[in-house]
Chain A
Amino acid sequence: MSKSMQDDAHAEDQVDNYRRKLLGGGAALAGAATLGPGVFFTRIASAKPDDQAASSEVRWGFLIDTNKCADNCTDCVTACEKENGWGSGSADEQHSRADQKAQWIRKVTVRDNRTQHSMTLPMMCQHCAEPPCVDVCPTGASMKRPDGIVLVDKHICIGCRYCMMACPYKARSFVHEDLEHQKSYAPRGKGTVESCNLCVHRVDRGEIPACAEACPEKAILFGNLNDANSEIAKRLASEASTEIRGDLRLNLGVRYQGI
């Protein structure tokens, strides 16, 4: 081979090497950028990674102590409104009448006229293990996650309102008009049905529902019913609690004390 041809071959090798190093370095960088956040930025504590499905090893629920629930307090309602963007937490629903406006959680006053005893309690979706709303939904939009949270798939809800007929707790609301100010993590949508979803977006981040966090008396306890070491499980094991309309045998995720 002549010297000029050797020089050309060497120059080509150098370009090839340079290209290989560039591509190799770029690939390494891309790999690091892809894998790194998963290694370094994942919260270690109790959050569920986004791509991991909810698991039936966990069952989320509430224990609500009505003895601690203050009569004139609606902090849980206000917190839910602000968190999920309905009621006073939203500028929407200006056209709907009062009886058409959504309500995900409400304070109910219960008075026994025979004994004159009166109390208040927060009422929301009871996250039944055997939800009538899921049974009756024709499309399966009303669904139950394996971890017990009952919610509505906003993509396939056709707005037939059969779930609202079937719910024994009047937990569901229908969206009667266009909405402009929806939270991206809590889509509502005109013409679909909605209800308390246990602040699923917060739970999946390892936080607790807004109502439980906001209650000044700590009357609402949130936790994993399946974890024997959780505070909620320990209290349920040692103290009496009741399901509302327990005769329906729906196996509720929400239990009350003092009713």
Chain B
Amino acid sequence: MKPMTFREIAGTSKGYYSLLGLLGLLVASGLGAAFYMEHHGHWVTGMNNQIVWGMPHVFAVFLIVAASGALNVASMASVFGKTPYKPLSRLSGLMAITLLLGGLTVLVLDLGHPDRLIVAMTYLNFKSIFAWNIILYNGFLVIVAAYLFTMMSRPANKYSSKAGFVAFIWRLILTTGTGSIFGFIVARQAYDAAIMAPMFIVLSFAFGLAIFLLVLFASYTWTGRPLGDFLINRLQRLLGLFVASALFFVVVFHLTNLYATEHHGIEHFILDGNNVYTGLFWVGYILLGSVIPLAICYLAPFRASLGWTATASVLVIGGGLAMMYVIIIGGQAFPLQLFPGMEVSSSFSDGVINSYTPSLPETLLGIGGFALALTLAMVAIKIMRFLPLSLANADIDPHYDSAEKDAA
């Protein structure tokens, strides 16, 4: 493979500034929403004493999961030696950092006391997976930054494999920690499952790659840099592989629950209920988020198409958000089982399906976090050399010369 030249994008076009302005507007409205919520209190949101985690957490958990998955491309190059992905490693590391920052911002700004963040950083209860996550998330930012340094600084290049390995292991532990937030909760029928940790890891592969692909495709298409179909084809099949793997874990999770009579209530509620969660699961995650992207990634008519791969990525992201909504909100909507088999009622929503209507402020906060991640990435690729000048087949395909000879 020829030596790769990395160059900042010009970033002076009207399109660039328009998109940056739009994203900036979304970030500003997210911050404004956060201030509004913090000032008045959470009564201005749709969250209540039954649904305590709402839209902000749907977006935050999605972004954090995607952040660890976005590092995959770099890991495949540094850790597994897949050289065609090497030129993409810098963007992969960048997206991992910006997506995590976006997710963490939403999470912190939704706290009842965001002013006590320093308390959260200094008082740590190590039996809590949240406390571990504080260390894992911050550590991830530092480690990936160091990994990027080893890739971008010529004298440090020789350390990039080791840095990549450390980053790879760290992100596996980090995503295990994120899945375990729910997996460790014994109280609720929808959680309390060991499979949630590895399920989140594989979901992260799909979500992270999908966002990475959209940023990659947009960066190259809109700056006129070449992106060959060799890479598109490989990335498309990779997306398909990750979507299929994630689907496997989700299916096993539900099949296992269906086997236990104790869990029939929650499974009926999610899979066969007359509610928004059933719709989001089957139409959002299964159909739009998994089956259709799988068809796009593997069927011949869509082979090596940038447009179709981008479409599949958008669908995977939508399906991912739907899945997070079903897990986080659906899991809280189903009542706690204090008296199994009994009909329970009280003045505090015992025994009833809890309802939740997302409010504008909390939804703006969630979207603002997503916009923040994209804004940081947009600015970064303009001020530093994250993107290769060319990803054309001639520059990426290791068999390009022999393929040319065969064709001639």
Contact = CB atoms under 8 A, between A and B. Distances in A.
Interface of A: 77, 95-97, 99-103, 106-114, 123, 132, 134-141, 156-162, 164-170, 172-178, 190-193, 244-245, 248, 259
Contacts of B332: 165
A165 B120 CA distance: 18
Interface in B341-376: 341-350, 354-355
A159 B187 contact: no
Contact of B343 (A113, A159, A168, A177): A113
Interface of B: 38, 40-43, 47-50, 52-53, 111-114, 116-117, 119-120, 123-125, 127-131, 133-134, 181, 184-188, 332, 336-339, 341-350, 354-355
B230 to A, nearest CB: 46
A119 B235 CA distance: 61
A4 B63 CA distance: 95
A81 to B, nearest CB: 12
Contact of B336 (A97, A103, A136, A169): A169
B52 A158 contact: no
Given A138-B125, A161-B52, A191-B112, A112 B341 contact: yes
Nearest to B349: A99
Contacts of B186: 132, 166, 168, 248
Contact of B43 (A95, A158, A170, A259): A95
B346 to A, nearest CB: 4
A138 B136 CA distance: 13
B128 A138 contact: yes
A96 B43 contact: yes
A135 B336 CA distance: 19
Given A136-B128, A139-B125, A160-B111, A165 B343 contact: no
A149 to B, nearest CB: 18
B130 A160 contact: yes
Contact of B347 (A103, A162, A176, A244): A103
A234 B51 CA distance: 41
Nearest to A103: B348
Contact of B113 (A100, A177, A192, A245): A192
Given A100-B49, A103-B347, A176-B42, A158 B116 contact: yes
A109 B41 contact: no
B112 A165 contact: no
Most buried by A among B130, B341, B348: B348
Nearest to B107: A160
A176 to B, nearest CB: 4
Contact of A156 (B116, B187, B337): B116
B350 A123 contact: yes
Contact of B50 (A96, A99, A190): A99
A102 B348 CA distance: 9
A185 to B, nearest CB: 21
A136 B125 CA distance: 8
A174 B128 CA distance: 19
A110 B342 contact: yes
Nearest to A139: B123
Given A161-B52, A191-B111, A106 B128 contact: no
Contacts of B53: 161, 165
Most buried by B among A110, A134, A172: A110
Contacts of A107: 346-347
A170 B117 contact: no
B49 A174 contact: yes
B360 to A, nearest CB: 16
B128 to A, nearest CB: 5
